[in-house]
Copies of this chain bind each other. A is one copy, B any other.
Amino acid sequence: MSDAVGSELVMTRDAIREYWLGHRRLTRRVLELFPEDQLFTYRIGGMRPFGEMVLELLAMAAPMARGLATGQWGEYAQDGPHDKAALLRQWDEDTADIEAAWASMPAGRLVETLTAFGQWTARGYELLQYVVDNEVHHRGQGYMYLRALGIEPPPFWERS
């Protein structure tokens, strides 16, 4: 279906921003609940510890927002702090960066076809949706780590 109804526009730039920031608030809560001494060691099925997943999320999120805003993409690089307090601090700094980048992002950027980090080509909103999907995916795994560690995860529907 690519007719007039199918091309009806639905989601605004503001709605996408709120959606993203809501997910970030929830993911931050999962990180906050995670026991520090298990963050980079606890694994199930040979998967990465949750701290390594968080480093991936950090490597994608603010760099994606800055790339969308400026059209400048650095190398994709997954480094960052390996302790919980520093990860939470970086999470908050990156949220502020995302908000600033979003405010300066040119009109039309989210529907342009772009190449992020020199390797992923898609429309702006598709690149961003991938970042959020990846966050939801790994956060779901973080929920399972928490449960396996005997910790109740935060309610999935609570995003404020």
**In the complex, what residue of chain B is closest to A143 when comparing beta carbons?**
B141
Can you tell how many copies of this chain the complex includes? 2
Question: Is there contact, CB below 8 Å, between B47 and A10?
Answer: no
Whether A11 and B16, one on each chain, are in contact in the complex, defined by CB atoms closer than 8 angstroms, is yes
Closest to A123 in B: B15
Min distance, Cβ A120 to any Cβ of chain B, angstroms: 9
Given contacts A136-B136, A137-B139, A156-B134, contact A147 B44 (CB under 8 A): yes
Q: Is A133 an interface residue (CB 8 A)?
A: yes
On A, residues with C-beta under 8 Å from B are 1-2, 5-17, 19, 23, 44-47, 102-103, 107-108, 110-111, 125-126, 129-130, 133-134, 136-141, 143-150, 156-157
